[in-house]
Chain A
């Protein structure tokens, strides 16, 4: 049973979609199916989390040969890093389904089901070819969601997203194939399991090309500065469920990729060139935040905000010490919760007003106090106000930054200031002041909507008030991983 657990988590949504499409279910039945599948998956993930031993390294490993001639295998496993992401996805899906309750376009539901399988597959794969496969598989539903159900220049923006992401995927595929081939040359047999491949050593001039192949894919996904032009258009055109997944989960998969594969396959390169990536991420951190200030649409504003914070998570990753890694992993959790919350609320706002142009809003707080409270709460969580998990994460990353270097530390800490600038002005124009044309008769949150937002709120509060409940869960993995890297390259 346990050996099938991970496969079940990956494929339940996929088969739900398959069966539903064969049975040609109506949207209400499809909805029940989807929700049931998401709840079962959530239950299984919780079960998995309870069985999981934080000190135990890679667990629930399952390897089945797939294409034996080339050493490609169906190779799954879970460790703290993937478990954190897994928990987040499986928590968000039921909430998104709740959001989609009245959605009668069936394609929406199918795409979401496939998306979940793609994402969980990406998170759990330990074979690089399998990883690549799922990595591409999660892109397609997003592409369709934006291109078909989005708004604005949806097809153009979807194409832009697709092309840029594919560019990264292609370069990653080249690197993967090169790794597999080299392994064959050196050791005489094919394999794509990343643990086997991590023993390969390259001369620096080759290693940097291999690493770049991967990094390009991850940099576009995050996106780091310079690789970001797909971000704001895609976020702006996405339907709400897709934008929640984009910001809360998919952007983090770029970070995940660097963490999982970067720090095992070519850790030496990453450590040697960390300074360059840190500078790039710092530029992103500041640049996105400044651009966010004058955005005219809520979604685009939070797209840039999201970019800024993902740059911060990347920074934490490259400072490579226990505080910054703790902070980055913690930020993955809290940012996913907060950005899911804010993008869901922007969706609710759009349902009510048919606009997300900040200029048209205003005066919501005086008509819908509950809405205003939740909205402010999520916005403040994103800005990292104490009492919310975002603060803890930012604090840890900042400590890590100062441990790395004083000036880099100061630059990193500027995130505290920058986030204020766009958050508060946005809150003012959206929630306060006189009632705008679009916001007249703005309805407050319904019970269903509160149920949808409450889990996120409570988790953000708990992560902020008592981080000690979560840190022991993530710390052992960080300590072990850092030690391994340090041993492999002879000191960080």
Chain B
């Protein structure tokens, strides 16, 4: 299937072409050309992806397509091919990455209008698409890691896109460095895995076939280390702090990279290694606990933010937490299903937010918006649908995927995780409707002059709104009369669940009730609110400042590191090592001075030397000749 390689190569090629054209003459306005190339490339990938997905759908569940481009490296037993693989898990990822990716590219062609870095933006954006597709299509962990790092790089480039602003570059650095901390764990895990299976081949399939050869302690270490990679990329505790800052990039970037695709790579990776995590249930539980904590923390912070993009960023972090609950507890298909539905509604929310930001001339504070319902109806309706979806109101997409995760937690008797997930569900409805009410319904102090929005921005919103409304229907569980098409399609090795249908009904009903309660609370508190709430209690103050986690990291890690650097330079290098060496030189010079002083031209000294010399020689002669 040579088509597989086209999916990846076309965006890369287009990124290269765009980059070269842009650099050839950065100041020439060529928006049409850039947009055409920039949007066409992912569209072609999306079309090819559709062909492959259709084929996979019509074939047996175990069908896997392969294509080898060339041998990447072969030294000793380390043999890696630049090869692609598409099974059903890949197909799901491919579908939403290329489909939503194309829509966001289209949206961006309108959003970035008038920006001097238009060509550069699309070059980076396509570079990201290529890297992300490389990540999901890779047939071995090393190529996956390359894609994994390249998405991090393109994310860095796009976060610091407005690089004249120093703070944006800081945000980019922070993202890249925290991701690299994760990658550090990831690559160690991969290398330990390779060493343990040296000579047995290093494709995913070969690893799966030989995983039994690794002893359990080693397997546990590998499982933890790989997850560290996921923590970085998917913004889990404690490596999440980069995600909110990443909102410094243009909004389409937040929609595509920091909501729909890149941040879910960690979940994909865990699902890809499901055969490994099924053998290490302890680590799975650990992942689920991290996921649940992240979900709750994200939701709490999101409830107190005022910046529309920050709210959505924390919300993304929180939803990613849900996904890790699922994959941690062995419900891989539920996790991937939530990745899938989340991609639709979260991309939509970000794009809606971007549309508002553009319409209001780069205003991001929700309390400075207000009563936009009638001014931006085609933003309001899609965002309403997305909000319903993320809040878990049936029959919108988020209900089915989130429900499946909470039911897994409950039925596998992880009640704490379940409780945390359920509280998060309540908070999710609360903070999302808070956003919606404040932005669209609450009265506004000022009368906004709304910038007209390009069709290229509105159309993707509507398409995604349809998706957010209906994507969940692919995964209707048996208890609700469906057959969970999605789970049977992705065919992941889920752990079996044992739960009564009646329990499922209770749980679902509870979730819906909580979501409605959250909505009602948000309505009561915010639908008439005009002013920002004051930070008048310690609790609020702590939460608004994100529990001071950034400050804690700065104080305990960044500052000491810088101090250490200075200390090593000025003290160890400058004082100790340098002085030892200079001391040698100094004593040598000192010696020279001392000896030179002997030769001072004074006769009495010379007479003294002669005296000493003569007596020395005569004494030794006497001794030698036996005179004594």
Contacts and interface: CB of A to CB of B under 8 A. Distances in A.
A370 to B, nearest CB: 6
A387 B564 CA distance: 32
B198 to A, nearest CB: 8
A434 B184 contact: no
B568 interface: yes
Interface string B154-193: 0010001001111001101100110011011001100110
B75 A475 contact: yes
B76 A417 contact: no
Contacts of B170: 428
A385 B177 contact: no
Nearest to A468: B71
B581 A229 contact: yes
A428 B153 contact: no
B569 A291 contact: yes
Nearest to B147: A386
B501 interface: no
Given A164-B581, A424-B176, A433 B169 contact: yes
B150 interface: yes
A293 interface: yes
Interface in B553-590: 561-562, 564-566, 568-569, 572-573, 577-578, 581, 585
A294 B564 CA distance: 10
B563 to A, nearest CB: 9
B194 interface: yes
B565 A291 contact: yes
A458 B170 CA distance: 29
A385 B154 CA distance: 11
Contact of B72 (A414, A434, A466): A466
A472 B160 CA distance: 39
B166 A434 contact: yes
Given A363-B164, A434-B164, A373 B191 contact: no
B195 interface: yes
Contacts of B497: none
A177 to B, nearest CB: 23
Contact of A433 (B150, B166, B572): B166
B564 A471 contact: no
Contact of A396 (B75, B165, B187): B75
A424 B192 contact: no
A150 B612 CA distance: 50
Nearest to B24: A370
Nearest to B178: A420
A235 to B, nearest CB: 14
A386 B565 contact: no
A339 to B, nearest CB: 20
Contacts of A433: 163-166, 169
Nearest to A362: B166
B403 to A, nearest CB: 39
A492 interface: no
B78 interface: yes
B566 A294 contact: yes
A475 B77 CA distance: 12
Given A416-B184, A420-B176, A323 B76 contact: yes
Contacts of A398: 187-188, 191
Given A290-B564, A385-B149, A386-B150, A468 B169 contact: no
A265 B76 CA distance: 26
B28 interface: no
A419 B517 CA distance: 50
B70 interface: yes
A468 B192 contact: no
Interface in B237-270: none
Given A294-B565, A433-B169, A468-B71, A416 B577 contact: no
Interface string A285-303: 0010011111100000000
Chain B contact patch, size range: 35 or more
Interface string B52-93: 000000000000000000111111101000000000000000
B160 A432 contact: yes
Contacts of A290: 561, 564-565, 568
Nearest to A374: B23
- B interface, over-half SS: helix
A410 B188 contact: yes
Given A287-B568, A291-B573, A399-B195, A326 B75 contact: yes
Contacts of A402: 188, 191-192, 195
| Most chain A beta-carbon contacts within 10 A, residue among B23, B165, B181, B194 | B23
B288 to A, nearest CB: 26
Interface in A358-409: 363, 365-366, 369-370, 373, 380, 385-387, 391-392, 395-396, 398-399, 402-403, 406, 409
Contacts of A425: 173
Contacts of A467: 72-73
B145 interface: yes
Given A386-B149, A406-B192, A420-B180, A326 B26 contact: no
B543 interface: no
A437 B576 CA distance: 37
A329 B23 CA distance: 34
B352 to A, nearest CB: 30
Contacts of A475: 75
B146 interface: yes
Nearest to A467: B73
Interface string A262-305: 00000000000000000000000001001111110000000000
A275 B585 CA distance: 31
Interface string B409-439: 0000000000000000000000000000000
A144 B487 CA distance: 72
A386 B78 contact: no
Nearest to B22: A369
A421 interface: yes
Nearest to A472: B74
Given A164-B581, A421-B561, A467-B72, A294 B569 contact: yes
Contact of A387 (B19, B150, B183): B150
Contacts of A391: 146, 149
Interface string B452-472: 000000000000000000000
A413 interface: yes
A36 interface: no
Contacts of B191: 398-399, 402, 409, 413
A387 B187 contact: no
A475 B572 CA distance: 40
B173 A226 contact: no
B163 A431 contact: yes
A399 B192 CA distance: 8
Nearest to B192: A402
Contacts of B150: 385-387
Interface of A: 163-164, 226, 228-229, 232, 287, 290-295, 321-323, 326, 363, 365-366, 369-370, 373, 380, 385-387, 391-392, 395-396, 398-399, 402-403, 406, 409-410, 413-414, 416-417, 420-421, 424-425, 427-428, 431-434, 466-468, 471-472, 475
Given A363-B164, A424-B172, 18 more contacts: A226-B577, A229-B573, A229-B581, A290-B561, A290-B564, A294-B565, A380-B153, A385-B149, A387-B146, A398-B191, A413-B184, A413-B187, A413-B191, A416-B180, A424-B177, A432-B160, A434-B166, A467-B72
What are the 9 closest A-B residue pairs judged by CB atoms, nearest first? A433-B166, A322-B76, A432-B163, A386-B146, A294-B565, A424-B173, A432-B169, A428-B169, A293-B565
25 contacts: A229-B578, A232-B573, A293-B565, A322-B75, A322-B76, A326-B75, A326-B76, A373-B19, A386-B145, A386-B146, A391-B146, A396-B78, A398-B187, A399-B78, A399-B195, A402-B192, A416-B183, A416-B187, A428-B160, A428-B169, A428-B173, A433-B163, A466-B72, A468-B74, A471-B73
Interface of B: 19, 22-23, 26, 70-76, 78, 120, 142, 145-146, 149-150, 153, 156, 160, 163-166, 169-170, 172-173, 176-177, 180-181, 183-184, 187-188, 191-192, 194-195, 561-562, 564-566, 568-569, 572-573, 577-578, 581, 585
